[in-house]
A = this chain, B = another copy of it.
Amino acid sequence: MVKTVYKNYLKSLLTRLFILFLSMISIAIIGTGRLARQLFHLFGSLKDYSPSLILGRNEGELAQFNHVETRSDFNKIILEDLVFLAISDRAIESVSNQINAPNALVCHCSGSIPISVLKKHTATGVFYPLQTFGSNEFIDFSKVPLLLEASQKEGIETLSALAKGVSSRVDFSDSNKRKSIHLAAVWVNNFSNFLFSEAASYCKSNEIDFKLLGPLMEQTVHNAIDLGPDMAQTGPARRGDTNTIKSHIASLESVSQKKIYQYISDAIQEKYKHEL
């Protein structure tokens, strides 16, 4: 046991010397979930950056990170240049208050949390990837918009250099603007996915392979981005085809599905009634 601790310490020391020697920017990631894994993979692929510490409460979760020091003690000093809080929104403020990272730029990665919750630290920032991390696959970040904010000019430069090495779409936005973007993201991702799950449940009851709808779903997104969703709207409600609407509602089984079908169809009909 003592030997393992000694070996780990030596490995960590050598890594740190190596990073120093190559003048790489060292990165600590706090968290062990999906976003933490994505960032670890992403930053590990960059020439001038080195993830050198992963901090997490769960020792079992920490074990999945290789070639890096892992730690579950949040009170021990963090020596890295950049610290990313890749944790749930509600934990950001308390974890930020707990950690000690005197020389770091401390960042969170959340769309909805203001930068001000990091106020314990001198240099703070936000690195918000406008993407969903529901999958375990590694995301191709090259097209993921990265929305940055920093409390100091140097922080903007540091984050900007990092982000531009990762994505072709780097934007700056203050906490208010980012919150608005996050809200729009909830509509197109969380809410659309809820409709997908209602459709999947209906497909299951009716012995339809949900994957059959894949090409349609892809084209739906393509048309909405390409033409704008107002132009791209099709279907019975847009055509004012009340027969099909009635017959669909009659064939739905659950009351909540009938309710949402009616609600959205009414809203679409209201929007396009001037065309009919």
Contact = CB atoms under 8 A, between A and B. Distances in A.
Contacts of A256: 267
Contacts of A20: none
B189 A235 contact: yes
A268 interface: yes
A213 interface: yes
| Chain A interface residue bracket vs B | 35 or more
Given A131-B219, A133-B234, A243 B188 contact: no
Contact of A234 (B132, B183, B231, B263): B132
A196 B224 contact: yes
A202 interface: yes
B217 A221 contact: yes
B195 A188 contact: yes
B188 A241 contact: no
Contacts of A183: 202, 248, 251-252
Contacts of A4: none
Interface stretch (A9-17, A52-60, A118-126, A204-212): A204-212
A261 B135 CA distance: 24
Interface stretch (A97-105, A137-145, A149-157): A137-145
Interface string A259-274: 0110110011001000
A131 B236 CA distance: 14
Interface string A185-211: 111111111111111101100101011
Interface string A218-248: 1111111111111111111111010110011
A241 B89 contact: yes
Oligomeric state, in number of copies?
A: 2
Given A134-B234, A144-B215, A219-B132, A264 B181 contact: no
Query: Which of A198, A212, A221 has most B Cβ within 10 Å?
Result: A221
A196 B188 contact: yes
B251 A180 contact: yes
A134 B231 contact: yes
Contacts of A37: none
A11 to B, nearest CB: 35
Contacts of A234: 132-134, 189-190, 193
Interface of A: 88-90, 112, 130-135, 137, 139, 143-145, 169, 171, 177, 179-181, 183-200, 202-203, 206, 208, 210-239, 241, 243-244, 247-248, 251-252, 256, 260-261, 263-264, 267-268, 271
14 contacts: A89-B241, A89-B244, A90-B243, A112-B248, A139-B219, A179-B247, A183-B252, A184-B213, A186-B248, A187-B199, A188-B196, A196-B232, A200-B229, A200-B230
